[in-house]
Each structure stands twice: as structure tokens, then as C-alpha cells.
Amino acid sequence: MILEREAIRLKRLNYIIIGGVDMNKELEFAKELIDFIYESPTAFHAVETTKKILDKSGYNELKEEEKWQLKTGGKHYVIKNNSAIVAFEIGKDKIEEEGFKIIGAHTDSPSFRIKPAAEITSEDHYVKLNTETYGGPILNTWLDRPLSVAGRVAIKSDDVFKPIAKLVDFKKPILIIPNLAIHMNRNINTGVELNKQKDMLPLLSLINENLEKGNYLLNAIAKDLEVEPLDIIDFDLFLYEYEKGSIIGLNDEFISSSRLDDLAMVHGGLNALVHSKASQSTKVLVCYDNEEVGSTTKQGADSNLLSNILERIVLNMGGDREDFFRALSRSFMISGDLAHAVHPNAGEKHDPQNRPLINKGPAIKISANMSYTSDSDSSSVYAQLCEKAGIPVQWFVNRSDERGGSTIGPISSSHLHIRSVDIGTPILAMHSVRELGGVLDHTYVTRSFKEFYK
Ligand SMILES: [Zn+2]
């Protein structure tokens, strides 16, 4: 008993080594991910956080509208709409001979977007905000939780075509969506429909007689950004969970956080990019926006964003359009988006044979109707990368009577017509405001990315 307690104590201190894995390092890396997500409450902020890490790692920003001058070994990134980012390091060999090694992920997560003229009063006392659902959140997970607001604000400038974009993050719990008491909602534990227009509006404040009625939010933003309220023309503001993510479990096994989907893959891909040595081929990390709403925007996967940048790289390095197509035929893409781990309370919802588990490695995602790009050719590439990296790999397929989701892989690889595999670390509670992943898995998948970029 004493020995057991001692073992637990040592585990708590994170000094144990499990199967060649240094839990201390894995845990530190998982905490880095939690910090990264905390600094990235919206897609705009995820790009800003990514940019800061790239800047520190010797990458420099290229503007789409300017003339580029690229060189072998050059490290650059391009930002689109403040919410998508493409980073690359030009390889040592000719691109048409070595191709591009691309990791894809997405910056957005399900949430609620604040509508224009958002303030609604009720009972002449409460001030609540009118919102619209973004993507497919699990609505009930957003109830009774301290929430905050972040996003992008457009401010008046001298040139009407160039409003000034500023990011805002209240970093303070200013909102909450209160549940209805069980006494007025007797079926709440057997299934109650939540209406997105009626039941999900967050409470912001109480009407204060000393304050002017209305424009509470706009005034607060103006104060935060130190601009005049009248100079704010429009905004893209979203709700987010105020609480920071945490490590959970008796032995620190789990990561509990908002937006693991898909910031875990953004963070893993970014870490692999900045920490891998220069290679023969050109390394690319693309983080698209708007995956949660179908990707059909200029900054989404269903656009020519990546294709145009890759072509510009080839042309700028002295190649022609034929060289670009030759480069594509030698390229490979890992589309990183999270997978579903088998749920401990609902094992029957999963395929009977392929049952991904937390902390057992990234999962290759397969679908007969090709909602994932993986086929035997691309899957075998990824499986062998995992083997070389010394990490386990799993396989995910939906139960045949479950529809399942899709991701950026099929959309972007059909724009580029390149070989592609869909993978992701298995998590529980996908699209909850608090998703649950594995500490080891985050290191595992990042090691597979580093192997890929080698
Ligand atoms: Zn996703």
C-alpha cells in the first residue's frame, strides 16, 4: 500500500518514464498546447499566435500584393484575411524534383458569432446579446459557463477600401448563458431541445440608470481599443470559454480544453515546422479558416489560396508552370484534423473492429465514400512515417450506419490534385466547449509531423 502510494506520488511529480516516453516532456508539451489555445480564442488570434512563433523562429511575412524574392532555404509566411496562414521553408533541391511536403489544419472552431445591433433588453432590466451559431457546437456545453468575447474589429480609415483591422480580446468573463431551472424544465435530463435564437443568448449585464441605454458592447470595445465608438464600422466577434484548459486524470493522462479541434493540429504542425532542420523538399504548413462552415471562403480550403502560393513559389524560384505541375505530382499532404476516440460510455457508437483509443497514437481516417482522402497508397506512407518515428498509429472508420464528418483534406487535395492522407489524434467530446484529448497523443502526432518534414 505504501509502495503504491509512493508510486502515485512519483507519478504526480511526473518523474516516471513510461515505455520509453518521458512523461515530464510530454506533459510540458501538452501544457504548451493549452497555453497556445488559451492565447487563440478565435481564428484571428490563432493566426496572430502562430505569426508570433514564426517571427521568433526566423520566418518573415510576405504580402500577397507585393513582389516576392525567394531564395533556397528562405522561411516565409502569408496571412489571408487575418484568419488563415500559410508558412513555408524552401528546400535545398529543385522543387519540381522534390515537391512540397504539406501539413494542413484549420484555425476555426464552433462558436457563436455576435450579430449586428446585438443588444437585447429583457424585463427592462437584463441586457443580453443576439448571436448566431458558428459551425456545429454541442449547445448544452455552453450553458452556465463564464464566457468572453474576442475577434476582429474594422475601424474607419482615410481609404474606404482599407479599413483598419484590430483584434480584440476581453480576457474577462463578461457573459453567461444561464440554464432554465429543472423545476421549470422537468425533461432536462431526458432530452430538451435548445433553440438557437431563444435559449442560447448570453446575458451581458443589467441596465444601469447611470449609463446611457444601448451600445454597451460597442463602447466597451472602443474603450479596449482606445478608439472612438463612432469609428467602429463593423466586427467579427465570437464567444469563447473564459476558463483555460487543464491537464486532467489521476496520472495526468488527459488534456481538457476548448478548441483542441483543430488548434492541436495547428500547434503540432507549427512545432514540427519550426523545429525540423532544412530538408531537400519544400516544407509547407497551411492553416485554413472556415472548415467548420464548409470551407467555401477565400481563406478556406475550398479556394485557390494554397495552390496560388505554391505556384508563386515555383515561378519565383525560376521554374515555369510545367515545373509547378511536376512539383505537385511529387508532393504529399497530411491533412490534420482530430478523430474520434472510442467513448468509454458509448462504445456501441463506433466501428466494431477499428477502435481508436486515447494515448495510443494518431489515427488514419478512412471512409469508403471518400469524406477522407486516405487510400492504401497515402495511408501506407503515413503508417511508415509513424513506424520510423517510433510511435504507434491507429485506424478510424465510422460505423457503417453513422454518417460522420469530413475535413479540409478532400477539399484542398482536389484543388491541388496531390496525394493526401487524413489523420488526427483521437479525442472525446468533439465540438464540446471542452474537448478531451491525450497528453501522449499530442507528442506522438507532432513526432510524426517532424518525421514527415525530415
Ligand atoms: Zn476539425
- 329-346, pLDDT tens digit by residue? 999 999 999 999 999 999
Residues 6+ apart with CB under 8 A from 350: 340, 342, 343, 399
Q: Residue 430 Cα, ligand 1 centroid: separation in angstroms?
A: 9
- Residue 14: the pLDDT is 44
Cβ–Cβ < 8 Å for 335, 445: no
Cβ–Cβ < 8 Å for 281, 73: no
Q: Residue 136 Cα, ligand 1 centroid: separation in angstroms?
A: 11
Residue 169 has pLDDT above 90, yes or no: yes
Q: Residue 282 Cα, ligand 1 centroid: separation in angstroms?
A: 25
pTM for the model: 0.93
Lowest mean pLDDT among 7-11, 16-20, 143-147: 16-20
Q: Residue 362 Cα, ligand 1 centroid: separation in angstroms?
A: 14
Q: Residue 261 Cα, ligand 1 centroid: separation in angstroms?
A: 5
Q: Residue 292 Cα, ligand 1 centroid: separation in angstroms?
A: 7
Q: Residue 259 Cα, ligand 1 centroid: separation in angstroms?
A: 9
- Residue 17: the pLDDT is 45
Helix intervals (H) in 163-284: 216-225, 260-275
- Residue 210: the pLDDT is 57
Region 85-100: mean pLDDT is: 96
Q: Residue 262 Cα, ligand 1 centroid: separation in angstroms?
A: 5
Region 253-280: mean pLDDT is: 96
Residues 6+ apart with CB under 8 A from 87: 50, 54, 59, 75, 76, 77, 270, 273, 284, 285
Calculate the average pLDDT of the chain: 92
Q: Residue 16 Cα, ligand 1 centroid: separation in angstroms?
A: 32
Q: Residue 105 Cα, ligand 1 centroid: separation in angstroms?
A: 8
- Residue 9: the pLDDT is 53
Region 401-423: mean pLDDT is: 86
How many whole angstroms separate alpha carbon 111 and alpha carbon 140?
A: 12
- Residue 23: the pLDDT is 72
Q: Residue 321 Cα, ligand 1 centroid: separation in angstroms?
A: 33
- Residue 16: the pLDDT is 42
Q: Which grid cell is 386?
A: 509513424
Q: Residue 338 Cα, ligand 1 centroid: separation in angstroms?
A: 6
Q: Residue 140 Cα, ligand 1 centroid: separation in angstroms?
A: 19
Q: Residue 421 Cα, ligand 1 centroid: separation in angstroms?
A: 15
Q: Residue 400 Cα, ligand 1 centroid: separation in angstroms?
A: 21
DSSP code of 143? B
In the structure, what pLDDT confidence band is assigned to residue 258 with cuts at 50, 70 and 90? Answer: very high
Residue 56 has pLDDT above 80, yes or no: yes
Region 267-296: mean pLDDT is: 95
Q: Residue 265 Cα, ligand 1 centroid: separation in angstroms?
A: 9
Q: Residue 81 Cα, ligand 1 centroid: separation in angstroms?
A: 19
Q: Residue 404 Cα, ligand 1 centroid: separation in angstroms?
A: 12
Among candidate residues 333, 356, 363, 357, the one with its CA nearest the CA of residue 269? 333
Region 310-328: mean pLDDT is: 97
* CB-count exposure of residue 346 (10 Å: 0-12, 13-18, 19+): exposed
Q: Residue 171 Cα, ligand 1 centroid: separation in angstroms?
A: 24
Residue 212 has pLDDT above 90, yes or no: no
Residue 170 has pLDDT above 60, yes or no: yes
Q: Which grid cell is 226?
A: 482606445
How many whole angstroms separate alpha carbon 45 and alpha carbon 272?
A: 20
